[in-house]
Amino acid sequence: MLRCRTDGRDVMEMLDDGLRDVAVEIGRKIGVAEMLDDGQRDRMEALNREQLDMVEASAGEQGGKMSMSVDGQMDGIEALNGGQGDQVEMRNNRLWASVESVSGAALVYTTRGDLVENVHRGHVAVVRADGELAAEAGDANVWTYMRSAAKPIQAMVALMSGAVDALGLDDEALALMCASHQGGTAHIKVLERMLAQTGVMEDELSFHRTLPSGLVERETFLRSGGERRKLYHVCAGKHIAMLAVSKHQGWSPASYTEPDHPLQQKVLHSLSLFAGLPPEELRLAVDGCGLPVAALPLWRLALAYARLSVQPEAWADAALRAAAARIAAAMNRHPALVEGSGRLATAMLGDSNVVAKSGAQGIFVFALRQEQLAVAIKLDDGGESAWPQAACAVLEQLRVGGDLADRIRSQFPPTIVNDVGETVGSRVPCLRLRLL
């Protein structure tokens, strides 16, 4: 059956080559058409349209034949494997449906010269602290992994367990528990102090030794001839805290990353409280650092940050609300420890009205205390270059945040500058919030 699939691919490649040849010929004629007068150009365009119609018809016919061939191969697979083909097809259909559901609205586009070079699509959810969805772009219900945006809420377990105060950990340590740090000198200094205070050994951290994640920090590291360390990992602070809690509570530190470990069950409960979902409704996978990572509807992620920043009295008891306020305050007191220079979250955390955090694969969340609103952004392409302009567009369309949008643009200008210092394009927000 492998031979049949290879033959089918060869046929498709031959078809693609034929279509490319036609396209090249049409392109050549279009180039010639630019030198013709209007009447000749009209006749040339008519000819090109006719040829394109022929290409589409041919592609449709041959694509139909190819589909019949693939269907035939699938029938053979099903006959040979006792229905496994049905399972493969169902899985592929399910994954494709997931792809369709993740695809979002245009949020930001980039230009180069006088052309649009690419478009960043995604989703935005705006939630009030009372739990009401206020606005969206794309689909506020799209399921997404929290990634590192979960860190402040994961840190709640360390604070609520009593381990933080028992071990004498300060606000700098709290900020590192919430951090995706860049491996700068200040970050490593606090992390080393956390190891000393908690009795956690660097080798106990579950991931491999690595380099600093920040570009400037990595260059400094390489120039100095430094050695890879686990402390350079962006999640080192969170892992130190989790190991410290495990030891403080008498739980096995060796299996602290396992989903059924008492620590991870506490973390799941914390995420559930902030997101307003039963623990069993959160979907779990494995994060980049080896810990469980939860997925939830995007608006629920925004709700978690609304509660982190505002702590509504009707939401939780006094102890939980006080812990949330303490963690958020630590992030504001030490924004450079939470991520680092050149990072949007750090820039926004410098404003005492804002709680902000980024996550891998296009996740960015921020909350405004005075306005009692939180915003979650998810970019389909998993990048982050469009975050600043998307955030500015949300702030301006909602007319909130004072001059925060202007301050963001001053640090993250929309212009695109090349390697010789020339302005060659720009990032332009095009998202349109739907008020609900």
Rounded average pLDDT over 158-168: 97
Quote the CA–CA distance of 327 and 98 in Å, as a whole number: 35
Percent of the chain exceeding pLDDT 70 equals 78
Domains and their CATH numbers in the chain: 2-101 (no CATH), 120-435 (3.40.710)
Quick: pLDDT tens for 38-52.
444 454 444 444 444
Q: Label residue 95 by pLDDT band (50, 70, 90).
A: low
Q: Which residue, 104, 180, 105, 107, is CA-closest to 385?
A: 107
Q: Label residue 375 by pLDDT band (50, 70, 90).
A: very high
Q: Which residue, 329, 18, 274, is CA-closest to 129?
A: 274
Note the pTM of the prediction, 2 decimals.
0.79
Report yes or no: 172 and 327 within 8 Å, Cβ to Cβ.
no
Q: What pLDDT does 102 receive?
A: 76
Side-chain half-sphere CA neighbours of 367 within 13 A: 28
Q: What pLDDT does 82 receive?
A: 52
Is the pLDDT score of 55 beyond 50?
no
Quote the CA–CA distance of 231 and 208 in Å, as a whole number: 10
Q: What pLDDT does 84 receive?
A: 64
Sequence letter at residue 314: A
Q: Label residue 2 by pLDDT band (50, 70, 90).
A: very low
Q: What pLDDT does 267 receive?
A: 98
